[in-house]
Structure 1
Amino acid sequence: MALTHHMTRAAATLAAALIATSATTAQADDREISIGAGYSDYSYSAGSDGAAFAVQYTFHPFYERGNFRARYATGFDLHETGDIHVGFGVAGRWDMANDWFVDVSVMPGLYFEQVPENDLGSTFEFRSQIGLGKYLANGNAVSLSLAHKSNASTTRFNPGVNSLLLRWHHAY
């Protein structure tokens, strides 16, 4: 699909620009970009399941206590059919022993389906996500995350979509 190709190119360009424009005055490793790929399953039986792609940028932490950091985050999700979600919200990370971590986020945003069967009930949708990850020796990380998008029953029709993603994280 031409739209999917253009959206994928736009997401890759956004990811490259965020990495390339990192400010030198920021504390090292306090911001992060993650890129993920996986599969989405629409709860509505007529929905078109398929490949999923995600980019998330997390800002400098606004709260830190012990092994927990909270940050603002923005994200862009693209589905194989061209459906997109763009959101802004809050992300948290708990660092655990042996370089493991747990990520959580809640990101309200706008959802635009390209095929009617993938309608989630409204344009305003929430994306919640939880993931388990591991820091690598080079400072990057990998994680496996489960994301859910729905309108939180703000409309009568609320089928939702679940995505399983393998994500690569680059902190800078």
Structure 2
Amino acid sequence: MAGKLIRRFVSALAMTIMAAPVAAQQWVVGAGWSDYSYARADDSIIGTFEYHAAPFYVGANAEAGWALSGEVTGAGDGFVGGGAYLTYDLGPAWFLEASVMPGAFFEKPPVNDLGSTFEIRSLLGLGYRFGNGSALSLAVSHKSNASTSNFNPGANSIFLRWHWGCRAVRRRAGLISPSTLGTSDGKQ
């Protein structure tokens, strides 16, 4: 069942990526460590892949949009989710990133059970933009079922994340002008 859901998520992600304008997308890949709060759990490495759609809000210092995420741990656990992301500029190169993504969690070893399939992943990170439009961030995330189950140990992860393909990142880095985006203020 978990494999079927993950295949459907990957198929939906691929169709979404192919349907959206290339310049409006951002991809994020990351690797790190996942620490389960349950003492007997199998902590392990974790990898993540995210797709950020074109922002539905672009302001002077912030942008927000919809995103999809997939994660896999070295123990074989998986998470797929979707929700909102926010990026806030701290200056020309530094930024904060945050996201909240409800989704489904599938544990491979039973000791990594988080209490339910439904989990909410929240993330907060600090990043740096490079002149070529890509960015690197350090982020922490937490998965929890928000006490919708009697058992809610949660899991915390730390990631080093690579971002690329985002026109807002390229715009803020001075590589493209807002007029290239279609309007003078960068809104779509």
What is the TM-score with the length of structure 2 in the denominator?
A: 0.78
1:21-60 correspondence to structure 2 within 5 Å: 21=18, 26=21, 28=23, 30-60=24-54
Give the C-alpha shift of residue 98 in structure 1. 3.4
Which of 105, 112, 124 matches 2:106? 112
Runs of 4+ in 1 over 2 A off after TM superposition: 20-23
1:9-158 correspondence to structure 2 within 5 Å: 21=18, 26=21, 28=23, 30-158=24-152
| Residues in 1 aligned to 2:26 and 2:19: alpha-carbon distance in whole angstroms | 10
What stretches of structure 1 of length at least 5 have no aligned partner? 1-6
Alignment RMSD (CA, Å): 2.4
Partner of 1:4: none
Residues 22, 118 of structure 1: CA spacing in aligned structure 2 closer, same or farther, 3 A cutoff?
same
What is the TM-score with the length of structure 1 in the denominator?
A: 0.84
Q: Residues 70-102 of structure 1, C-alpha deviation per residue, up to 9 Å, x if partnerless?
A: 100000011111100000100000012131110
| Residues in 2 aligned to 1:99 and 1:27: alpha-carbon distance in whole angstroms | 23
Q: Residues 36-75 of structure 1, C-alpha deviation per residue, up to 9 Å, x if partnerless?
A: 0000000000010010000010001111222111100000
Partner of 2:179: none
Which amino acid counterpart does residue 40 of structure 1 have in structure 2? Answer: S
Give the C-alpha shift of residue 34 in structure 1. 0.3
Bigger Cα Rg: 2
SS of structure 2 residue aligned to 1:98? coil
